[in-house]
Amino acid sequence: MMMDRIRPENRKLRLHLEPSTYFWFVPLIAIVELLLFIVMVIAGIDALNPDPIALFEWGANQRSAVMEGELWRLLTAAFIHHGAFHLCVNLIGFWLAGRILEPLIGWKNMALLLLFSAVVSGVSSFFWNPYMVSVGASGMVYGMMGSLLVFLFTKSSYLKELVPHLFLLFVLFILQWVFSTFSQHVDHAAHIGGAIAGFLGGIMFSLSSYYPKAATPIRGVMGLFSLGFVLSVLALGKGLSNPLGVYQKAAKSFHSELFQANKAWLNASDTAAFEQGILHLKKAKEAARKVNRSDMPEALQVRLQQMELYAALKEKQFVYRIDYLKNRAVFSIFLYRDNQEALNLLESEIGQQKRTPQE
């Protein structure tokens, strides 16, 4: 039974924060989280307010990318954080919750619980948030909290010795909940998913403590549940709307045609080359125009409009150049310059990003 793993003389160790024989796996995960954050900062990520696109490149969770087959983001997002404050809050939660829970259920069950919580929180975010770039170990922290909630009822005699520790833990939980309530960038779906996963895990681990022979099958069930949640993304994700994915596909086509048009411009020696560039610009304009924008957020609609306008202005540049080469019309030079000013205004807005996830 789980209680037999902890000798009476060692139970008091759980009131302290230092790792011990019964508490080493959670600190190990916390160290991995911290080291990865340091590596990201050294690589150029802002330590206080990182760019969502940069977090995306490091493995953040985002529906469009997962639907393209990047299922690993459902797990890797749990090891990435949106700044130092986000990391510190989660590391404190890891330490306080893990200090109680790991000696109670053992490191193997702890590893399974963290995996289960991370996957379920990632899948919950996938289904709930079509645009958000989701990161953080909060799903795992909430998973540990969910399990502790179960053990408050099933192992009350064991946990009553840790009232001060539990009080500090739940104060942290309340503060985190209040902070997330007033923040628009918090992934509530991931928190709820992690808490539900932890609650289910707590029930299973409690059952295994009363029925030791069921411990291995219960671990297998949790593993199958984790796999089932991942497969649900493949099975049900196809039916979800993916406006960001549609936008990204259009943007990729747009930039590809724009690249060919610019290549024609640089290599042009006669009007035929400029005419070839015009064809590529018409295709770029069509790539932005043909997208169904009915279920897209306003920000993406504006980007598509800017792309379409940019291609139209760029096409005029080619026309003016052809007109000048054919007719030597002086007025074409002035029209070209005026049009170039309009193009310059759009340059920074259009950019060259092929992926533009929204936080």
Query: Which tokens belong to 144?
Result: 């540990």
The contacts of residue 298 (CB under 8 Å, 6+ apart) are none
Residue 338 has pLDDT above 90, yes or no: no
Indicate the residue among 239, 261, 288 that finishes a domain.
Answer: 239
Query: In terms of domains, do 138 and 254 share one?
Result: no
Residue 355 belongs to a domain? no
Query: In terms of domains, do 69 and 169 share one?
Result: yes
Query: In terms of domains, do 56 and 165 share one?
Result: yes
| CATH number where 123 lies | 1.20.1540.10
Indicate the residue among 239, 273, 305 that finishes a domain.
Answer: 239
Task: Kindly report, residue by residue over 304-336, the tens digit of the pLDDT.
Answer: 888 888 888 888 888 877 777 776 655 555 566
pLDDT value for 10? 42
Indicate the pLDDT class of residue 160, thresholds 50, 70 and 90.
low
Query: In terms of domains, do 114 and 228 share one?
Result: yes
Residue found under tokens 């702890």: 110
Indicate the pLDDT class of residue 9, thresholds 50, 70 and 90.
very low
pLDDT value for 219? 72
pLDDT value for 119? 92
Tell me the average pLDDT across 80-97: 90
Indicate the pLDDT class of residue 19, thresholds 50, 70 and 90.
low
CA distance 126 to 323: 52
What's the predicted TM-score (pTM) here?
0.73
Query: In terms of domains, do 301 and 249 share one?
Result: yes
Q: Which of these ranges, 89-93, 170-174, 313-317, has the smallest mean pLDDT?
A: 170-174
Number of domains in the chain: 2
Q: Which of these ranges, 5-9, 132-136, 262-266, 291-295, has the smallest mean pLDDT?
A: 5-9
Residue 357 belongs to a domain? no
Residue 24 has pLDDT above 80, yes or no: yes
CA distance 157 to 138: 28
Indicate the pLDDT class of residue 339, thresholds 50, 70 and 90.
low
With beta carbons less than 8 A apart as the criterion, state whether 134 and 63 touch: no
Query: In terms of domains, do 251 and 233 share one?
Result: no
% of the chain with per-residue pLDDT over 90: 24
Centre a 10 Å sphere on the Cβ of residue 228 and count the other Cβ atoms it contains.
Answer: 12
Q: Show the domain range for 267.
A: 243-350
pLDDT value for 294? 74
Residue 359 belongs to a domain? no
Residue 356 belongs to a domain? no
pLDDT value for 307? 87
CA distance 167 to 263: 65
Longest dimension (CA), the chain: 97
CA distance 208 to 8: 21
Query: In terms of domains, do 160 and 208 share one?
Result: yes
With beta carbons less than 8 A apart as the criterion, state whether 103 and 42 touch: no
Residue 11 has pLDDT above 50, yes or no: no
The sign of the torsion formed by the CA atoms of 228, 230, 233, 234 equals negative
Residue 200 belongs to a domain? yes
The contacts of residue 206 (CB under 8 Å, 6+ apart) are 150, 151, 154, 155
Residue 261 belongs to a domain? yes
Query: In terms of domains, do 216 and 277 share one?
Result: no
Residue 60 belongs to a domain? yes
pLDDT value for 348? 61
CA distance 136 to 81: 5
Query: In terms of domains, do 276 and 209 share one?
Result: no
Beta bridge partners of 256: none
The sign of the torsion formed by the CA atoms of 272, 274, 278, 280 equals positive
pLDDT value for 12? 44
Task: Kindly report, residue by residue over 101-141, the tens digit of the pLDDT.
Answer: 898 888 989 999 999 999 999 999 999 888 888 999 999 99
pLDDT value for 143? 94
| 44 vs 218: which has the higher pLDDT | 44
Instruction: Give ∠ CA 260-262-266 in degrees, rounded to 5.
Output: 115
Residue found under tokens 């490149």: 57
Query: In terms of domains, do 229 and 120 share one?
Result: yes
With beta carbons less than 8 A apart as the criterion, state whether 4 and 22 touch: no
CA distance 256 to 284: 8
The contacts of residue 321 (CB under 8 Å, 6+ apart) are 268, 274, 332, 336
Query: What kind and span of H or E run contains 21?
Result: none
Indicate the residue among 239, 264, 280 that finishes a domain.
Answer: 239
Indicate the pLDDT class of residue 3, thresholds 50, 70 and 90.
very low
Query: In terms of domains, do 49 and 156 share one?
Result: yes
CA distance 338 to 324: 15
Residue found under tokens 């902070």: 179
Query: In terms of domains, do 173 and 307 share one?
Result: no
pLDDT value for 35? 96
The contacts of residue 122 (CB under 8 Å, 6+ apart) are 61, 73, 74, 75, 77, 78, 134, 139, 190, 193
Q: Which of these ranges, 77-81, 118-122, 193-197, 211-215, has the smallest mean pLDDT?
A: 211-215
With beta carbons less than 8 A apart as the criterion, state whether 56 and 357 touch: yes
Residue 174 belongs to a domain? yes
